[in-house]
Amino acid sequence: MFRLDPSLVFAFGSLLFAGVNDLVFKKQAMSGHGRGQYIALCGLVWMLVFALLALASGHNRIAPSAVYWGLIAGTFSVVGNYLLITSLRHLDASVGATIYRLNLVLAAMIAFLLLAEPLTPMKLIGLALAVVAIFLFAEKKNGGSPDAGKKWALILVIIASCLRAGMAISYKLAANQFAILQSQGWNSQQHWFLSVQGFMWLFVGLIFAFRFENPVKFAAANVGYGLLSGGLICGIVLLLAKALAAGQASVVVPITQMSFLVTALLSWPLIRERFSPRKITALAVAAVAVLALTLSI
């Protein structure tokens, strides 16, 4: 009887949360409201949820490695997302999202080279189809050569993509250490690890808000975006952490980065985005890519 590997169940859950959050993320990026405020609010929810979960479990000891990896992953995450939001204000959303999603290729390469994960034909097929689907989702736009602002935005989104790959690999390395710590009686370190990342979002978001924005003037919509995204991000990162603790980064990361499947399906009834033949083809290719990656385990 066919049974999904636990890592795949968690990966699909993370994909679902990310797909919904992508819609919120896109609307905030185009709203013109403060990015720092939004990031800080996301971080506040993120930090409190996992700190309370750890404390509710009766585990108030924080291992140094949880702080160490939390700071690394949190820095990768918050800087990468800030750069992504910034780039989306100068690039077509489809172009920025396409480049950003290509972090799945870099993460898989790192997993093959540094984590010694097996490279199988089915994985290669899945990764190749994922890349094809990503490019199919980038609708072609007519226009001239990019101006200086767009060139800088391209650089920013490439950096953001690399940082996202680094974050995913840091989750895998942290999970390996937490498994050892748990055998030594250090429980709930995964929750503290995630809470530290939320603190990084709060800290860096406040820096950006006070440095570049009016930290007192909160737009009601921005508060809503921040609180909603904060809750969704908790689901994204918790399930991503569980998936990477249970499975291979070269499979889990590509699947979670296919969240545009959910975003595209939701965007049709919610914001009436049209379904072109190109987008329908992309959805079909992405679905086959996910199937290939699922069967590679």
At 237 the pLDDT is: 95
38 contact partners, CB below 8 Å, separation of at least 6: 28, 85, 205, 222, 225, 226, 229
At 148 the pLDDT is: 56
Q: For the chain, give me the number of helices (H) and strands (E)?
A: 12, 0
Neighbour-count burial of 32, counting CB atoms closer than 10 A to its CB (0-12 exposed, 13-18 middle, 19+ buried): exposed
Q: What are the boundaries of each domain within the chain?
A: 6-295
At 144 the pLDDT is: 47
The position carrying tokens 């250090």 is 186
Alpha helices in 4-101 (DSSP H): 6-31, 35-56, 64-88, 93-101
At 270 the pLDDT is: 64
Q: Could you say which residues of the chain have pLDDT below 50?
A: 1, 144-146
- Beta carbons of 221 and 48 less than 8 angstroms apart: no
How far is the C-alpha of 28 from the C-alpha of 221, rounded, in Å? 9
- Beta carbons of 200 and 91 less than 8 angstroms apart: no
- Beta carbons of 13 and 256 less than 8 angstroms apart: no
Task: List the structure tokens of 204.
Answer: 């860096």
- Beta carbons of 77 and 163 less than 8 angstroms apart: yes
pTM reported for the whole predicted model: 0.86
The string of pLDDT tens digits covering residues 32-53 is 777 888 899 999 999 999 999 9
The string of pLDDT tens digits covering residues 193-212 is 999 999 999 999 999 888 87
